[in-house]
Amino acid sequence: MSSTEEKNIIRKHLEQRELEILSDFATKSVNSKGRKKLEDECNLRTCFQRDRDRILHSKAFRRLKHKTQVFLSPFDDHFRTRLTHTLEVSQIARTISRSLALNEDLTEAIALGHDLGHTPFGHCGEGVLDELVKGGFHHNIQSVRVVEVLEDLNLCRETIDGILTHTWGYVPKTPEAQVVQLADKIAYINHDIEDSIRAGIISESDLPKDCIQYFSSIQSKRLDKMINEVVFNSLDMPKVAMSEEGWYYTTKLREWMFENVYVDSPAKLEEKKARRVIKELFALYVDMLKPYCDESKIERIVTDYISGMTDRYAVEKFKENFIPRGFQSSTKDDYLFKLANMIN
C-alpha cells in the first residue's frame, strides 16, 4: 500500500460504511457529482463532511447569530435568531435522515447552509430587496451565491442543490435535500409559535383546535409528531414526505401563523423602520459607487453587501450615514493628564 493510500484509508472506510449501512435511496459520498473545481480529497472526511465543515467555518454562518428570524433584534436572549433557527433545522433534519438511513452528513451540510444568504431583518429585509433589485431577490438563490461566489467554498453539487431547493416550490434532486425542505418548515412553525407565545402575541389556546387535537398542545409533542409523520411515511420510499393528514394540519398551522403572527402583528411593528433602513442604505451605496464602478455591476455589489449585513450592522451604518452626531472635541483625555501634573 502506497503512502497516499495509507493516508486515505480513513476516508475510504467511511465511504465504504455508507455503502454498507445507508438506504438504497441515500446519496453516497463516492457517487457525488463532485465540485466545480477539482481538488484533492481529504484524508479523514468524506466530501459531504468537508462541505459541512466549510459552511460551519464560513463568515456568513457566523453572521447568522445577529440576523432576525421573526422578532427584529430581540433583546431577550431566548428568542430565536437566524442562527438558532438554522441549528434547529439541522437537528430535526439529522434525526429524520438518520431514521431513514439517508446520508446524515449531506443533510447537515445543506441544513447549515440553507439560510446563509438571508438578509438583515428577516423576510422583511428580503421583501425590500425583492422590490429594489431588477429580477427580484430570493434568499435561497443568494445563499447559493454566498457559497459559490462570495466565499467560494467550492461545495459539492448535491449540497448546492439542497441549499437552492430548501424553499418550497423547488424540487430537490436528493432525498437529503427533501428532508431539509421539510425540516425547515417543521422548525420554524414550532419555534415561531413558542416565540410568539413568549412575546404575548398569541397563546397556546389560540391555535386552531383541530391542529392542537391532532398534534397536541405541548410544543415538544407537536414537534415529535411532525417528525414521526415524516419518518414513518417515508420508510423504504424513494421520496421523503409527510403523511397526507399530517401535512394538511401542518399547512393549516402555517397558514394560521401567517394570518396571526407573520403579517400585521405586534411582531411586525418595527418593520416599517427596518424597510426604511434598507431602502436608504441601498440608495446611498448605489450613489456612492457610481463614480467608481461600471453601472451594470453596481446593483449586484450593493445587493451582496446589504444582504450580508447583520441587523445591528445595518442599523449602525444607517446611524453613521443619516443620524447627525454631536461635535466631538479633540482634547480627548487631556484634562486627566493636566490633573495628574497638578497633583504631582
Q: Across the strands, what pairs with 68? A: 81
Torsion sign over Cα 204, 205, 206, 210: positive
Cα 91 to Cα 83, 88, 96, 222: the distances in Å are 13, 5, 9, 16
> Which residue segments constitute the domains of the chain, with CATH numbers given?
3-268 (1.10.3210.10), 272-322 (no CATH)
**Distance between CA 227 and CA 303 in Å, rounded?**
36
pTM of the full structure: 0.92
pLDDT of 52 = 98
**pLDDT number for residue 264:** 73
Cα–Cα distance measured from residue 297 to residue 254, given in angstroms and rounded to the nearest whole number: 38
10-residue averages of pLDDT along the chain (344 residues): 73 97 98 97 97 98 94 78 97 98 98 97 95 97 98 98 96 98 97 93 93 93 97 97 97 94 79 95 96 93 96 95 79 64 66
pLDDT of residue 127: 96
Q: Which of 58, 62, 104, 96 is nearest to 82 (CA)?
A: 62
pLDDT at 333: 64
